[in-house]
Structure 1
């Protein structure tokens, strides 16, 4: 069964059918998502502490665009395109580093300052009409939000405080040491699945106690009866208190009376997630970066506020990378394959009137954001 474009967004949640399967593999739909969602979205770049000294930089790519985030000697953070203004050569190829002096293009040695301004170009003195000030690298909009640096390719995008009202306060309340976080490690994994398939999997608890042993392990570390999924207009949370009777977590003994951080996740439209696992003493970032209609980079970042990584934090990171993560990835891949079946087009959201811990109302909300962005429907439409 399928529906018209106009009627899908008007469904009663408790009776709603999912987005048609083509939304997860159609090339034209993906190209529309690129242009109408991601090119004007706020993308997590790094924690502000990753740019702790002058010349420190992080390079981020989205589709065929590459952006440099860098702190200058005055302490300001800049974003600018990763491209020389002479012949288009890419300037920096490492993901992270410290550029103590000028940024030098490896092709013809055009040199740029830490704010993207051109400082020198060989033989430019021989060109009478050459004006060095006219060849600054075009800036990319950046914003600090919740201790992190975000960038947006649209200079006219709505600022994050307006787009995500009260979200920063929610992050800081649940992750009080946000400003002290330091990067432990970052891992990119390419998954043969649409970015929305991966997001769908992360924002529902229906499968927690049903899909695999590591999800059952996670459910045992929280008070699953209090698992709560809440959405605002452009952001959402899913959280639960820690199970205070737990004796171990991630294979490590824990004292439930000490640092038993709750399970907390927050998503910022369209693809940024910050999370904290119970007892983990660390924070995770989970970014879904689309490559094409059926391939996505999963970027797992792990951060700690401690100078020395606690044993339970290392165990939690290893467990995520080697146990829970692969279990979820297998589900993502299997779903992507199934969406091509001639025997499937739309499924039924399992949404109850109580919006309980196993209800899929967050999935519907996320799909509505996608649908409305693609079809030009006002986000406030209900």
Structure 2
């Protein structure tokens, strides 16, 4: 029988049992996560360089909400709901682009500026007491953090620097050319697994040398003995120095001396934003887990480089292909089979493999992540909210 929330919260890490399996498929718990975690979370929208000119926009969806991120003619960034204030029609259906003029609703041609203000509405001059200032699209909270543009549906959410103290410095230290990065490629994959199943898989090294050939390949590119997993309340890092004996990676020659910055680096920002740099890849990857329902998620793979798209180093191109065609599918298959297993009548709770040293194969980051989920659902002491 599953532990009570209070009993689960009181466990010692070294002998703790995992979250009960229902947390990974129960629709009621998922709805609670939607309201208590994601509706007040910071969501990565894009790199600031994707909004590098007036009218440039990116549209992001979370559940049934859609948000426009856009730069206006004065260079200011804005975020607002992707909905016309007349009859509720969605305004922009493309993921990204450049709006050269106003944003025109395709239904009745209401037109908005890049700041969400209504500019014109046909026949409004004939309507009693119609004031365009009354129909501005409601804004959405926006913040630029470590080169990324984030949005939050809660206007009173804490500032990202308060929530993630030290995280921006960690990203900039690992990726010095962060401000010069440009989007190379972005792919969305729907995975039939709970969002936490996917996150759990990404934040432990226990399976690296055990689960599949491409994970073994990744372990061979790093000094696995130096693999460190650290948590800082609402954010966490994991990574390792490069294997200094490596001469090729992802089937491509490295072609230069190994440098300190060639290691493996990952950083996660609660609850679902991950940024990483594969060994020798010379590019930053984004790994966004976007929940759809209790047992389906979107995995958004983004790739950013300071090199022009048509001048990417061979090893960078190879690393992107390898992630999309080899390691990514291998991980996704683990997500799918885990989700199926969590439904088994023969399983409810397992054991976190956490050693006293918090070693490179310890699952302490998984426990920390689960504690953040549990706290959001049940409060600090595990009492039912």
Write the distance in 2 (CA, Å) between the matches of 1:271 and 1:147.
17
Give the equivalent residue in structure 2 for 1:300. 301
Q: Is the 8 A contact 1:246 1:256 kept in 2?
A: no
Structure 1 segment 313-324 matched on structure 2, within 5 A = 313-324=316-327
Structure 1 segment 136-147 matched on structure 2, within 5 A = 136-147=136-147
Partner SS state of residue 299, structure 1: strand
Deviation at 1:256, TM superposition (A): 5.7
Write the distance in 2 (CA, Å) between the matches of 1:304 and 1:132.
42
Are 2:341 and 1:338 aligned?
A: yes
Give the equivalent residue in structure 2 for 1:352. 355
Partner SS state of residue 92, structure 2: coil
Write the distance in 1 (CA, Å) between the matches of 2:149 and 2:365.
26
Deviation at 1:378, TM superposition (A): 7.2
Write the distance in 1 (CA, Å) between the matches of 2:8 and 2:345.
21
Write the distance in 1 (CA, Å) between the matches of 2:161 and 2:97.
29
Q: Aligned-residue CA RMSD in angstroms? A: 1.0
Write the distance in 2 (CA, Å) between the matches of 1:258 and 1:178.
20
Give the equivalent residue in structure 2 for 1:310. 313
Write the distance in 2 (CA, Å) between the matches of 1:125 and 1:264.
58
Give the equivalent residue in structure 2 for 1:369. 372
Deviation at 1:128, TM superposition (A): 2.3
Write the distance in 2 (CA, Å) between the matches of 1:378 and 1:66.
34
Give the equivalent residue in structure 1 for 2:60. 60
Query: For each residue in 1:108-157, what CA deviation from the matched residue of structure 2 results, as whole angstroms up to 9, or x when unmatched?
Result: 00000000000000000001210110000000010000001000000000
Unpaired runs of at least 5, structure 2 = none
Deviation at 1:2, TM superposition (A): 2.4
Q: Is the 8 A contact 2:9 2:381 kept in 1?
A: no
Q: Is the 8 A contact 2:244 2:258 kept in 1?
A: no
Write the distance in 1 (CA, Å) between the matches of 2:83 and 2:357.
51
Give the equivalent residue in structure 2 for 1:275. 276
Query: For each residue in 1:181-219, what CA deviation from the matched residue of structure 2 results, as whole angstroms up to 9, or x when unmatched?
Result: 000000000000000000000000000000000000000
Deviation at 1:258, TM superposition (A): 4.5
Q: Which moved more, 1:247-256 or 1:163-172?
A: 247-256
Q: Is the 8 A contact 1:120 1:132 kept in 2?
A: yes
